[in-house]
Amino acid sequence: MLETFLFGVFPYVAFAIMIVGLIWRYRTNQFSYSSVSSQFLEKRQLFWGSVPWHYGIILVLLGHLVGVLFPEGVKAINGVPVRLYILEGTGLALSLSLLVGLVILMLRRGISANVRATTSFMDVVLLIVLLAQVVTGIITAIFYRWGSAWSVQTTIPYFWSLFTLSPKVAYMVALPLLTKLHAINFFLLLGLFPFSRLVHMLSVPLAYLWRPYQIVMWHRRQTQQ
Amino acid sequence: MDVRAQLSMVFHLDKCIGCHTCTLACNNIWTSREGTEYMWWNNVETKPGTGYPTLWEDQTKYRGGWELKGKALRPRLGQRLGLMANLFFNPFLPSLDDYYEPWTYQYGQLFSAPQADDQPTARAVSKISGEFLNVEAGPNWDDDMGGSSVYARNDINLAELTDAEREALFRIEQMVFFYIPRICNHCLNPGCIGVCPSGAIYKRAEDGIVLVSQEKCRGWRFCVSGCPYKKTYYNWKTGKSEKCILCYPRVETGQAPACFHSCVGRIRYMGVLLYDAERIEEVAKTPDAGLVEAQRSLILDPNDAAVIAAAKKNGIGDDWIASAQKSPVYKFVKQWGIALPLHIEFRTLPMLFYIPPLLPVLASTGNGKYDLSKTDFFGSMESLRVPMKYMARLFSAGNEEIIKKTLKKLKAVRAYQQAQSVGIVTTSQASALLTEAGCTADEAEAIFRLTSLPRFEDRFVLPPYHREEVIGLTIEPIKQKERVGFGFNQLPRRGP
């Protein structure tokens, strides 16, 4: 019963909250969208936290995405043991570096008085949820080898079944507890997304790569439109 | 020819007494909020000195402005991809230590302290964390050189001077300084806009004011490094960047900006300049020595029929053209050529011009007294109290000829007026100086009048805005407010 709720209902609730929440926040309070960086207040520790964290998490998330989108491809890669070891090894190395980054960022929030003063309640909640996500992920990777292989028959079909609105909870029930937590925590993160600083992920300024350097705005022409 | 109008400024440095009234007028209106305590959109610096934030002119440290790489003009901060790679940590961002940690005192302690043997004290506490603070620096602690030559010695504009010249400058009885008030230059080729990943900063085409859209800003902070003048600031509370808005709500209603209005020394002038937007990039690429002249050539004659026709074609109204014709800024910068941009080698084409100070340069102390009688002071460089090289570093990208020309004219105007009223200088001496400076008696008279006897409406020739009509016809005023810069319909709170 609990598992039906957690894997069959909760994902949809979290996803709905995320979509509605994001639209609501964007429409009512664009001002609140920001990276809310604290580099200005403290930069030495931030470097060792922020850089490994961000690059690590971007690559690991991309790895997850590739796994979900091309399970057959991953399977083909894993067909040769050496390639499997390289894939899993790289993933683990990235996860460990981003874990180090995250821990440094957490400690920094506590150590620097100025950074502490600008820390919101949601920042603390988010850091704890993220830490749980990273730790459960790393433990799964180390103790339940090899995730990139078995997920093709378990979590990925489950994930796709969510999209067809017929969640196959059975896939998840059989998995170890920590792996289940990793999945549930992910849905929790989706729910927290619009109400935390995570929204800055949507602001990645890719348009900067091709826009002209200067921006000039004509009030007259703008209002005539 | 793509004619645009720019609300432009001139500061007459000989008249600045360094009282910081402008700074406080600005602070009272705009930056007395949490997150902005450390920001001084207007500040006054002592030169030689290191300024605020410390060593802001040193672009090897902060990488502001533009650099010429071959034929391309690029932000010194880096190429687009390189910039994006530094999104999670900007190595060139000035941090709180480079400004100062804002503080207050525990005044309440003076009343609430329990009875004891000693007097209660009000200790300094940080305005950010609320914790006790050892106050070590402030935004203007180099005021009047801060009682030592340390600040002055670290001025990077002195780098090119010989050791002997530098030592001469610092001999205590020779020590000389002047003030330089700074606000956002509302540049034609702004560095802050060029590096803003979100595209949140923009220049208003109608009047050239540069603003940060608070709705679009995502707090990537590159503008703080990208502005070579360090005039964009990061609000640590809201996670947004903020800068001088040239008091546009005041300007749009016909009032001079707060810092201009409150200026005690009446050093500030404001007026419209017409310029050719088509040539901005070309001018910004001029080699260093020619930059000042090139920027001047960008400014168009508002009395020229062709310019007027082109201006009208671009939608600039008759009243704005009339305002440009009366502009005191046009007179100082273009007609008389005595107002110069600050550090134009940063290539942002700043539209705030300074009339370099004559007095600290002019007088020599050869006989142990403050001596103004030498007329050949441009011939003997060693008798100058402030070396020409130093002034050229500040105001003409190192081109000493421009400084000489400017100071000659200022000196000639002074001599002309002295001949008229006090008689220390003879009329023939004065006219010889005028001829040498390439200045007519009429021009000298006009410069004297606008410098010493200007009325309020001579200093601030503000063009009439017709926002009320335009806005009322096209869009709901509240919506309009959201679109341009600082308009809040809700409290500017940090996101959760």
Nearest CA in chain B to A52: B88
What average pLDDT does the structure give for chain A?
93
Alpha-carbon distances, residue A174 vs A21, A88, A142, A171, A180 (angstroms): 33, 22, 18, 6, 9
Q: Give the whole-angstrom CA distance, residue B306 versus residue B304.
A: 6
CA separation for the pair B284, B286 (Å, rounded): 6
Q: Both tokens of residue B431?
A: 């006219």
Give the containing element (helix H, strand E) for B7: strand B3-12
pLDDT score recorded for residue B363: 60
B220 in reach of chain A (CB within 8 A): yes
Write down the residue that tokens 């959760």 correspond to: B496
* Inside any domain, residue B204: yes
Q: In this structure, is residue B426 part of a structural domain?
A: no
Q: Is the predicted pLDDT of residue B368 greater than 60, yes or no?
A: no
Average per-residue pLDDT for chain B: 89
For residue B83, give every residue at least 6 positions away whose Cβ sits within 8 Å of its Cβ, in sequence order, or none. Answer: A208, B75, B77, B195, B197, B222
Asked if the Cβ–Cβ distance from A33 to B214 is below 8 Å, we say no
Say yes or no: A48 contacts chain B, CB-CB below 8 A.
Answer: no
In chain B, pLDDT over 90 holds for what percent of residues? 71
What is the pLDDT, as a whole number, of residue B376?
53
Within 13 Å, how many C-alpha atoms sit on residue B284's CB side? 27
Q: Which residues contact B450 (CB under 8 A, 6 or more apart)?
A: B269, B328, B331, B332, B458
Give Cα B379 distance to the centre of its chain: 30
Cα gap B388→B31, rounded to integer Å: 36
pLDDT at A98 over 70: yes
- Candidate from A61-70, A97-106, A176-185, B413-422 with smallest mean pLDDT: B413-422
Question: Does the beta carbon of B95 lie under 8 angstroms from any beta carbon of chain A?
Answer: yes
Residue of B131, B218, B227, B275 to mutate when probing chain A, most A C-beta within 10 A: B218
- In chain A, the residue whose alpha carbon lies closest to the alpha carbon of B97 is A41
- pLDDT digits 0-9 by tens, A140-171: 999 998 888 899 889 999 999 999 999 999 99
B382 pLDDT above the threshold of 70? no
Instruction: Select from B309, B131, B483, B356 the least CA-distant residue to A218.
Output: B483
pLDDT for position A64: 95
User: Residue B140 CA to chain centroid, in angstroms?
Assistant: 16
* Residues B128, B151: Cα–Cα separation, whole Å: 27
Please indicate, yes or no, if residue B427 is contained in any of the structural domains.
Answer: no
Confirm or reject contact between A2 and chain B (CB < 8 A). no
From chain A, pick out residues whose CB is under 8 angstroms from the CB of B205. 216-220
pLDDT of B170 > 90? The answer is no
* Residue A125 touches chain B, beta carbons under 8 Å: no
Q: A215 and B203 in contact by Cβ < 8 A? A: yes
Distance in Å, alpha carbon of B218 to nearest chain A alpha carbon = 4
Residue B59 has pLDDT above 60, yes or no: yes
CA-based diameter of chain A, in Å?
65
How far is Cα A45 from Cα A108, in angstroms, rounded to an integer? Answer: 7
Q: Is the CA virtual torsion B223, B228, B231, B236 positive or negative?
A: positive
Q: Does position B144 have pLDDT exceeding 50, yes or no?
A: yes
Q: Which domain holds residue B60?
A: 1-100+137-166+177-356+455-496
pLDDT for the residue numbered B340: 97
In chain A, whose CA is at the least distance from the CA of B487? A31
Q: What is the model's pLDDT at position B381?
A: 45
- Answer yes or no: is pLDDT of A77 > 90: no
pLDDT at B172: 60
For chain B, the domain total comes to: 1
Residues on chain B touching A32 (C-beta within 8 angstroms): 493-496
Q: Is the pLDDT of residue A224 over 50?
A: no
- Residue A194 CA to residue A191 CA, distance in Å, equals 7
Q: What pLDDT does residue A220 have?
A: 66
* pLDDT recorded at residue B174: 65
pLDDT value at residue B377: 45
Instruction: Look up residue B493 and give its DSSP letter.
Output: P
Whether B55 maps to a domain, the answer reads: yes
Interface test with B, best of A26, A112, A192, A215 (most B CBs within 10 A): A215
Q: Measured between beta carbons, which residues in chain B are less than 8 angstroms from residue A195?
A: 496
The encoded tokens of residue A27 equal 């429409």
Q: Cβ of B489 under 8 Å from any chain A Cβ? A: no
Q: What is the mean pLDDT of residues B45-57?
A: 93
Please list the alpha-helical segments (H only) found in B66-162: 80-85, 109-112, 150-153
Element (H, E) at B474: helix B467-474
Beta partners for B364? B371
Estimate the crossing angle of helix A10-28 against helix A177-192, to 10 degrees.
20
Reading the block at residue B423, the tokens are 């008689």
Instruction: Look at chain B and count its residues.
Output: 496
CB of B468 less than 8 A from some CB of A: no
For range A88-100, the mean pLDDT: 96
Report how far apart, in Å, the C-alpha atoms of A81 and of each of A40, A77, B169, B182, B356 are.
47, 9, 74, 65, 74
Average pLDDT over residues B42-67: 94
pLDDT band at B162, cuts 50/70/90? confident
**B29 with B250: CB under 8 angstroms?**
no
pLDDT value at B80 more than 90: yes
Nearest by CB to residue B219, choosing from A34, A53, A120, is A34
The residues, any chain, with a CB within 8 Å of residue B276's CB and separated by 6 or more, are: B1, B2, B3, B298, B300
Q: What is the pLDDT of residue B468?
A: 63
DSSP output for B12-51: EGGG-----HHHHHHHHHHS-STT-TT--SSEEEEESS-T
Instruction: For chain B, report the end-to-end CA distance as a whole number of angstroms.
Output: 49
Does B77 map to a domain? yes
Q: Nearest by CB to B236, which of A41, A50, A196?
A: A41
pLDDT of residue B379: 45
- C-alpha gyration radius of chain A: 20
Q: Which of B44-58, B159-173, B404-418 has the lowest mean pLDDT?
A: B159-173
Query: What's CA B479's distance to the chain center, in Å?
Result: 32
What is the rounded average pLDDT of the residues B77-89?
93
Q: Please check whether residue B11 lies inside any domain of the structure.
A: yes
pLDDT of residue B362: 66
The span from the CA of B143 to the CA of B109, in Å, is: 30
Q: Is the model's pLDDT at B455 over the cut of 60?
A: yes
Q: For chain A, percent helix, then strand, then coil, each to nearest 5?
A: 80, 0, 20
Looking at beta carbons, which residues of chain A come within 8 Å of B93?
A: 39-40, 43
What does the pLDDT read at residue B291? 97
Q: How far is CA B315 from the centre of its chain?
A: 29
What is the rounded CA–CA span in Å between residue B112 and residue B115? Answer: 9
Residues of B in contact with A35 (CB under 8 A): 218-220, 239
Query: pLDDT at residue B378 above 90?
Result: no
pLDDT at B173 over 70: no
Asked if pLDDT for residue B37 goes beyond 80, the answer is yes
Q: What's residue B471's pLDDT?
A: 60
The CATH number of the domain holding residue B220 is 3.30.70.20
Q: Give residue A225's pLDDT.
A: 40
Q: Which residues 80-109 on chain A approach chain B with CB closer than 8 angstroms?
A: none
Looking at chain A, the whole-number percentage of residues with pLDDT higher than 90 is 82
φ/ψ (deg, to 5) at B241:
-90, 145
Q: For residue A171, give the H/E element and its range.
A: helix A170-173
CB contact under 8 A, B130 and A40: no
The reply to whether B125 touches chain A by the CB within 8 Å rule is: no
pLDDT computed for residue B469 by the predictor:
62
**pLDDT score of B364:** 58
pLDDT at site A145: 87
Q: Which of A39, A117, A197 sits opposite B495 (nearest CB)?
A: A197
Domain assignment present for residue B129? The answer is no
Of A33, A54, A223, the CB nearest to B218: A33
Domains of chain A (ranges, CATH numbers): 2-224 (1.20.950.20)
Q: Is the pLDDT of residue A125 over 50?
A: yes
- How many helices (H) and strands (E) chain A has is answered by 12, 1
Half-sphere exposure of B337 (CA within 13 A, CB side): 19
Q: Judge whether A35 is closer than 8 Å to chain B, CB to CB.
A: yes
What is the reported pLDDT for B386?
78
With CA atoms as reference, the chain B residue closest to A36 would be: B239
Residue pair B194/B223 in contact by the 8 Å Cβ criterion:
no
CA B306 to CA B239: how far, in whole Å?
Answer: 47
| Cα A117 to Cα A110: distance, rounded to the nearest angstrom | 10
Q: Which of B473, B472, B441, B462 is nearest to B5 (CA)?
A: B462
Single-letter amino acid code for the residue at B389: K
The chain A residue lying nearest B132, using CA atoms, is A113
Residue type, A39: Q
Q: Residue B296 carries which side chain, given as an amino acid letter? A: R
